[in-house]
Structures are given as C-alpha cells and as structure tokens.
C-alpha cells in the first residue's frame, strides 16, 4: 500500500483554488448517469447527500435510525467555529488554521486544515440562508462566543442546540432532494459490508432493520459519513447506536485506518452514578467560560462544598495554567481532572469528579445572567442529578466524546480504496491528536457541502468505470458473508448478553487505552481483548431471529467489530512512543506532568493496513510536514 496524500503543494492560501481548478468536472447532463451511495445522514453525510442530489447525481442515502434527522450530530451543543472575524478581535482564516494545527498537537495535515478554515466562513453563510436560527445581537447581527480555549470569539451558536439546528438545516435540504426524486432515502438500514471490484468501491451490502432483508446496492462511488467509534468504550457521550461497523468493514476491504488511538476525552460530563449507567451526558464546555473548576486541597475531604473555605480549595487549572486558566483545551483539562482524582481529591460519592462552580459568576453577574447563558444546561444537570447548580457546584468528570482517528483519506477525502470517500468524524480528519471545541460541526459540513461534491466529480470524470451488477462474484461473496455472519450470531446460543461483553470491553479500553496509557497496560489490554473476543464468539446470547426487528442482533454485529477495532487502537497507542494531544503515554511526560511529543520520530499519521483476521496489521506512515505552523510545545501556562 502506498499512501499518496495528493496535497496540491505551492502556497497554502491558494491550494484549494488550484485543486478545484485542476479537478475534472462531470458534465451536468452526465451527472444523472452516476449512482452515488452515501452512508450516514449526519452533518457530513446529510449535507453531502443533499448537495450531490442538488448537483444532479442519483443518490442513495442510508441511515440506521428511523429518520435522517436523528443522526448523532444532533447532540452537539456548544457551537461551530468560523473565521468570520465579526467581532473585530483579530481573528482570520490563518488564525483559525494556526489554532487548529496547534490544538491538534501538530499531528494533522496543514493543507487540509487550511482548507477547513477557509470553508468555515461559507458554512455560516449557507446555514443562515437555510434558516438556521443562530443567536443574534439586538442589532440583528450574529452573536459569537469564545469557546474551548480560543482567545477570539469565533463560535456561532443556537442556544445549547447548535448541532440540532445545523443538522435540521442539512436534513431539510436532504428532504427537499428526496421530494424532488434526486435522493432515495433508506432509513432503518445498516451497512454491513463494502463491495470492491477491480480495486474500486462499487457498492454495499445492507440489512433492513425492520424486515431483516439483506440486500445489495450497486454504485459508481461510495461515501461514508458514519461518524466516530467512541462507543468502543461502552460509556461515552455518543448516541447508543453510534458504531464503527461501516468503517471497519471498509478497513477489512482495504481502506487504511488512520490514527486509531487518537480519541478525545471531554472534560465536562456528568459523572457516572451506577453500574446500570448506559451513557454519559455531556455538559457543554461553554460552561467553563463562567464556571471555576476546583477540588479540595486535602485528600478525602468529604465536607459539602459550601463547608470548604476558599483557602482550602484548589483551583488547579487556574493555578497551573494562569494564562488560560479554566479554558485550557480539552485534553489538558481532562488529564488534570484525572490527576487530582488519582491523588484522592475527587468529589462526589465515587470520588471520580471535580467541582464546576458558578458561585463567583453568580455573585458577579447575578443569577439571571447565568440563567440566560446556561439555563437549559443547568436544567438538564438538575434533571439528571437532582442537584441545583445555582446553589451547589456542579460535579463533572471527563468522558469519551470524539474520535480524531478514522479511515485515512487523502486531500480529496478519498480512502486508499479508489471510489471510497470518507467524510466527517469517520475519517482521520483535520484534528490531529486533539480536536478543539466547536470544530466537529465545522469539519462535517465542510466535507459534505464544500469538499466531497468537487472531489467526487473529479474521481468520476477521471475514472473508467465498467458497468457492474450485483450478480458479480464480489457482490455475491459479500452478500453470503453477511448472511453467514448473521446466522452465526443467532446460532451461538450462549449464556452472556451482548451488553455484558460490551461493558467488559469498554472497561478494558477505558482503563488501559483511555486518558493515560502505558506500554504494559496496552499489551495486557490486547491479550485481554483477544480472549474476551474469543469468549464472545463462543458464548454470546442473541435471542430471536433475523427476519424481524432484532436489536440484540444489531448490537452483536457492532460489538463484534468493536472488539477488533479496540485491539487495533491499543496496537496503535503502543507503537506511538510519545504523548500528544489526547494520546498520553505515562512514560513520555515532562517533569511537571505535561505531554511530551517526539517530533523526530512520530511526526506522522499512522495508517494501518488489514492483513487478515488474527494477523498483525501493517503500519504505514504518512510523514507530516509543517511549512507554516512550526511545531512547538503547546503551552497554556
């Protein structure tokens, strides 16, 4: 496998213009002759399907939910970044680019990130034109806030529901194309394999989640916008259905997997309350703008927070990072929360939590102002915990939130399989080793509205695509593979439920491949995952049959893939002998406990190539070059 990033080269400011000009175009009259499959209907998939339909392609769009409007993008709360500089506070495309490369701890491709920053301004224009009701000032202009460690106010938001409103914008555009007959929607349909013919992606195999029908779909190109794989940890902020199956099947068909160990842990989530916990709820990190994070100075201090006087509190972020304080990036905030809890200073019943205290802000600004800014978040917190955050500090703890890793793609967002494009969180993306807040929505929409519509055309116009049908042996083999696997799940008839395996896998991943990792822990995780996986295939219990709605069967397929991906994540973490962004290897830290990058040996993106089941995959490296933002130690002190 050869990795060709297809970066246009030359000045970064005009690279995307040159690329667009050099890309071939499909004649408008010919577009309707092409069949394009889009899997996933979130910000990336939904916006791509709508845009490609608008351009005139024949699009089939698939989602496992009952409606494309439910994709997990909907849950994003805080906002979307754009380099509009509406606040006149010194922002620019170059600054957003710089912040993103630096925030990603110099593990992202400069040219991609620059393009993302450029597209950010068009996204806001597009969303406003669609009727997305962003927050506004009294004069009628758009409002902005500073978010997640940025020193400029470039984040656009719609209350705490920015993802919902942007997704509804894309969804409504998609429904318009469905109404016009240009997009055919397949809800409640899950992709279970990719079909590759003559080295090109030519279709997918799906299961209808209502009837159980396993079906073939032929196409000229396949686009995956299937989101991230945070649910490998069982507990995460991801929706329960979010899974890695589509990208994992593509990996097993030859698409390289990029940086699988780069996962993001979000610092402000509601702590776990018991064994029955099914997911973790994020509290928008915009709360850190006005909330102060602290723990007691003394270990095991069980007094209620109001009983602990100021001089016995440790505002550890303000103490360690005086210039950024509570607004340090997500990876730094998360790691520090873990550190103080490891010291025995955590709060709450489980002692796995820290306080996020609005007392000082309420005193300064008044309760009404705080209610106006965060009212819905405070309500949500109270609904879940039964505590009133206006009176008692919130308790928060980090949780798995986002995966920067994903399928490796070149500048055209094409994977190592020609004709397979990967967009949004599903690709290994523009965020390097750590994603900045309010950048996920930006990337999903940039990929879907403004990149893949151009690069797909270039592929189709420049590629000889022979006619194929689903009677091709590749289709038939993939189809019977999926059928056999489905039967296998139903026939094992063991004694443990899918969820019990998933929880155990998640625990291993969280303990050994979570916020802090060691070579020893990762090695032990790999062997524990392997034996758990073996047990799964011997002893999992899936009741019911295929020809009906069978949620256990759906979960079994997803968890089976999580086992394999989890192992690859550990392997990737084990080979990356450095600490960068969300990847913190305890062996590689500065004396004061900060992440220590090793640019001489690890300034690359890893790209893993599948070699067969139970065979160690091969690691390829894409060397990263930094011509504009020179790698430095990220310092938020």
490 is a contact residue toward another protein (CB under 8 A): no
Residue 117 or 574 with smaller CB distance to another protein: 117
Among 21, 22, 28, 276, binds another protein (CB under 8 A): 276
* Contact between residue 262 and residue 404 where contact means Cβ atoms under 8 Å apart: yes
Which of positions 577-606 make contact with another protein (CB under 8 A)?
none
Tokens 């593979």 sit at which residue?
Answer: 481
Which of positions 293-312 make contact with another protein (CB under 8 A)?
none
Angle, helices 162-179/43-55, rounded to nearest 10 degrees: 30
Where does 349-451 show beta strands of DSSP type E? 354-357, 394-403, 406-407, 420-422
Residue 84 or 528 with smaller CB distance to another protein: 84
Give every strand in the sheet of 200-208, ordered side by side: 189-197, 200-208, 214-218
277 is a contact residue toward another protein (CB under 8 A): yes
Residue 126 or 439 with smaller CB distance to another protein: 126
Among 134, 233, 428, 608, binds another protein (CB under 8 A): 134
Among 543, 586, 618, 632, binds another protein (CB under 8 A): 543
138 is a contact residue toward another protein (CB under 8 A): yes
Give every strand in the sheet of 604-609, ordered side by side: 406-407, 257-258, 604-609, 618-623
How are beta strands 183-186 and 58-62 bridged, if at all?
parallel
Stretch that binds another protein, among 2-10, 132-140, 308-316, 618-626 (CB under 8 A): 132-140
* Contact between residue 388 and residue 358 where contact means Cβ atoms under 8 Å apart: no
Q: How far is CA 72 from CA 46, 168, 191, 234, in A?
A: 12, 12, 17, 16
Residue 288 beta carbon to another protein: minimum distance, rounded to whole angstroms: 19
Which of positions 200-219 make contact with another protein (CB under 8 A)?
210
Among 106, 449, 459, 489, binds another protein (CB under 8 A): 449
Cβ within 8 Å of residue 251, ≥6 positions away:
257, 407, 608, 610
Please give the Cα distance from 353 to 268 (Å, whole number): 10
Task: Give, as one character, the DSSP assignment of residue 257.
Answer: E
Residue 428 beta carbon to another protein: minimum distance, rounded to whole angstroms: 24
The count of chain residues that interact with another protein, using the rule CB under 8 A, is 80
Please give the Cα distance from 145 to 354 (Å, whole number): 25
Residue 62's DSSP bridge partners are 39, 186
Among 9, 10, 11, 133, binds another protein (CB under 8 A): 133
Alpha carbon dihedral 126, 128, 130, 135, in 10-degree steps, equals: 140
372 is a contact residue toward another protein (CB under 8 A): no
Task: Give, as one character, the DSSP assignment of residue 326.
Answer: G
How are beta strands 155-156 and 80-81 bridged, if at all?
antiparallel
Among 50, 113, 117, 317, binds another protein (CB under 8 A): 50
Among 274, 300, 591, 612, binds another protein (CB under 8 A): 274
Residue 176 beta carbon to another protein: minimum distance, rounded to whole angstroms: 5
Among 7, 135, 365, 461, binds another protein (CB under 8 A): 135
63 is a contact residue toward another protein (CB under 8 A): no
Which of positions 164-183 make contact with another protein (CB under 8 A)?
164-165, 168, 171-173, 175-176, 178-179
How are beta strands 540-541 and 496-497 bridged, if at all?
parallel
610 is a contact residue toward another protein (CB under 8 A): no
**605 sits in which H/E element:** strand 604-609
Residue 441 beta carbon to another protein: minimum distance, rounded to whole angstroms: 14
Residue 10 beta carbon to another protein: minimum distance, rounded to whole angstroms: 24
93 is a contact residue toward another protein (CB under 8 A): no
* Contact between residue 240 and residue 181 where contact means Cβ atoms under 8 Å apart: no
Among 2, 29, 88, 139, binds another protein (CB under 8 A): 139
Please give the Cα distance from 96 to 100 (Å, whole number): 6
Neighbours of 467 (CB within 10 A): 6
Stretch that binds another protein, among 94-102, 476-484, 546-554, 600-608 (CB under 8 A): 546-554
Please give the Cα distance from 167 to 164 (Å, whole number): 5
Which of positions 226-265 make contact with another protein (CB under 8 A)?
237, 239-241
79 is a contact residue toward another protein (CB under 8 A): no
Please give the Cα distance from 518 to 189 (Å, whole number): 39
Residue 218 beta carbon to another protein: minimum distance, rounded to whole angstroms: 25
Residue 180 beta carbon to another protein: minimum distance, rounded to whole angstroms: 9
Among 39, 61, 65, 226, binds another protein (CB under 8 A): 65
Tokens 């040159």 sit at which residue?
Answer: 18
Among 81, 118, 120, 126, binds another protein (CB under 8 A): 126
Residue 75 or 619 with smaller CB distance to another protein: 75
């Amino acid at each position: 496998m050869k990795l060709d990033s297809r970066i246009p080269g030359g000045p970064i400011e005009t690279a995307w213009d040159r690329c667009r000009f050099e890309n071939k175009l499909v004649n408008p009259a010919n577009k309707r002759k092409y069949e394009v499959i889009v899997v996933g209907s979130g910000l990336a998939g939904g916006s791509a399907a709508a845009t490609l339909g608008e351009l005139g392609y024949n699009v089939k769009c698939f989602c496992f939910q009952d409606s494309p409007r439910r994709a997990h993008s909907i849950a994003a709360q805080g906002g979307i970044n754009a380099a509009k500089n509406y606040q006149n506070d010194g922002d620019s495309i170059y600054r957003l680019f710089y912040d993103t490369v630096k925030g990603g701890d110099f593990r992202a491709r400069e040219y991609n990130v620059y393009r993302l920053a450029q597209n950010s301004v068009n996204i806001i224009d597009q969303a406003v034109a669609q009727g997305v009701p962003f927050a506004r000032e009294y004069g009628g202009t758009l409002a902005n806030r500073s978010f997640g460690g940025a020193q400029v106010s470039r984040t656009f938001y719609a209350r705490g529901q920015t993802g919902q409103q942007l997704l509804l914008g894309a969804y409504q555009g998609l429904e318009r194309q469905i109404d016009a007959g240009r997009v055919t929607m397949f809800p409640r349909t899950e992709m279970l394999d990719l079909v590759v013919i003559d080295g090109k992606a030519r279709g997918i195999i799906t299961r209808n989640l209502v009837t159980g029908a396993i079906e073939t779909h032929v196409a000229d190109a396949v686009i995956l916008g299937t989101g991230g794989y945070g649910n490998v940890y069982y507990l995460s902020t991801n929706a329960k259905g979010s899974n890695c199956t589509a990208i994992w099947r593509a990996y097993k068909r030859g698409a390289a997997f990029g940086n699988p160990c780069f996962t993001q842990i979000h610092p402000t989530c509601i702590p776990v309350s018991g064994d029955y916990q099914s997911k973790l709820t994020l509290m928008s990190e915009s709360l850190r703008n006005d909330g102060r994070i602290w723990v007691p100075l003394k270990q095991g201090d069980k007094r209620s927070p109001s009983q602990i006087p100021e001089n016995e509190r440790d505002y550890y972020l303000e103490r360690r990072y005086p210039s950024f304080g509570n607004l340090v990036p997500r990876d730094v905030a998360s790691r520090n929360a873990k550190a103080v809890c490891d010291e025995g200073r955590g709060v709450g019943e489980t002692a796995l939590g820290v306080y996020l205290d609005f007392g000082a802000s309420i005193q300064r600004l008044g309760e009404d102002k705080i209610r106006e800014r965060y009212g819905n978040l405070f309500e949500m917190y109270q609904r879940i915990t039964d505590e009133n955050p206006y009176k008692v500090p919130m308790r928060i703890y980090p949780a798995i939130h986002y995966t920067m890793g994903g399928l490796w793609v070149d500048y055209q967002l094409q994977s190592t399989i020609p004709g397979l494009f990967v967009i949004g969180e599903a690709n290994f993306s523009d965020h390097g080793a750590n994603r900045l807040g309010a950048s996920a929505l930006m990337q999903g929409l940039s990929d879907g509205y403004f990149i893949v519509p151009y690069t797909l055309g270039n592929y189709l116009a420049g590629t000889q695509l022979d006619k194929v049908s689903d009677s091709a042996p590749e289709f038939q083999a993939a189809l019977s593979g999926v059928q056999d696997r489905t039967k296998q799940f139903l026939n094992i008839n063991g004694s443990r439920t899918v969820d019990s395996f998933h929880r155990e896998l998640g625990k291993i991943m969280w303990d050994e491949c979570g916020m802090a990792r060691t070579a020893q822990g990762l090695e032990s995780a790999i062997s524990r995952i392997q034996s758990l996986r073996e047990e799964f295939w011997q002893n999992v219990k899936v009741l019911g049959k295929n020809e009906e709605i069978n949620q256990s069967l759906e979960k079994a397929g997803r968890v089976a893939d999580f086992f394999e991906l989890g192992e690859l994540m550990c392997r990737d973490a084990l080979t990356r002998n450095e600490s960068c962004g969300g990847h913190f290897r305890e062996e590689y830290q500065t004396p004061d406990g900060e992440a220590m990058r090793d640019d001489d040996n690890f300034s690359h993106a890893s790209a893993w190539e599948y070699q067969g089941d139970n065979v160690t995959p091969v690691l390829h490296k894409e060397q990263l070059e930094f011509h504009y933002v020179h790698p430095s130690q990220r310092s938020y002190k």
